[in-house]
Every structure is written in C-alpha cells, then in structure tokens.
Copies of this chain bind each other. A is one copy, B any other.
Amino acid sequence: MRIGELARRAGVSTRALRYYEQQGLITARRAANGYREYSEADLRLVTEIRSLLTVGFTLEDARPFVACLRAGHESGASCPESVEVYRRKLAEIDGEIRTLLTRRAEVAAQLGAACPGCMFGPPPDRNEGES
C-alpha cells in the first residue's frame, strides 16, 4: 500500500509517517516512480508507535519496540530493551506524579491562605486512574 492508505488505516497523517521514517523508525520500499510502498508489517509498526506515543512515550522510547517487532517477535515488548524502557518510563511517571502531588499541595496551601473557603475536595486518588 502507499502512504495515504497507510495513514488512513493507522489513523495518522502522512506527514507523521514521513517524520517517523526520517527518524529511522520505519523504512519504505520505493516503487519505480519513487512512491513509498508499505506492507502489513509496517502498519503493525505504526500502530505500535502510535499506542506508545499516546501513553506518553517519545519516539526515542519507541525505538526498541519497533526493533523488537522487526526482529520477528509478536509483541514489541518481548525484548529486554523494551522491558527496560517500560521500567524507566514507570519510574519517570512516578517521579512526575510525585512532583505534581507536591505542587498540588503547595498551590492548595496558597489558595487556602489567600481565599479560605475556596477549596474543593482532595487531590485525585490513585484508585481513580485504574481501569
């Protein structure tokens, strides 16, 4: 398939696909006229990238997953490099959550001091986030 079809099926823009290629995440066979030609495996790669991005990963983070799929594994997370990225990201997210909780407490304290009676409820509980 060509880039337009891949874009539609993957739910991304053609610009994004060319960008991923430029970043070395995906590659494309070229037809005689210069058009990019993609396979079903490429669709799989792009959907993997997209799902990772939507969870807050960067394109750099996605590299090991793509490499893992390219290496023939069924899941992009089957390789130790991918697992390592997961662990790193988990720690990173935890750090951000802690930072935000600290900020929230500071801002809430300031708001409470400036305007007693303006407060809502408590910070979001971790139970809410679990699906």
Q: List the interface of chain A (C-beta within 8 A of B).
A: 55-56, 75, 77-78, 82-83, 86-87, 89-90, 93-94, 96-98, 100-108, 110-111, 113-115, 118, 120, 122-126, 128-131
Is B123 a contact of A94 with CB atoms below 8 Å?
yes
Smallest beta-carbon distance A99→chain B, Å? 8
Smallest beta-carbon distance A105→chain B, Å? 5
Is A131 a contact of B102 with CB atoms below 8 Å?
yes
Q: Give the interface SS of chain A, mostly helix, strand, loop or mixed.
A: helix
Is A131 a contact of B105 with CB atoms below 8 Å?
yes
Q: A94-B124, A101-B126 are in contact. List 12 more A-B contacts (CB 8 A).
A: A55-B106, A56-B100, A82-B114, A83-B118, A86-B111, A86-B115, A90-B120, A96-B100, A98-B128, A101-B128, A105-B129, A106-B131
Is A87 a contact of B111 with CB atoms below 8 Å?
yes
6 closest pairs, A vs B, by CB? A101-B129, A77-B114, A86-B111, A102-B129, A83-B115, A105-B130
Is A100 a contact of B107 with CB atoms below 8 Å?
no
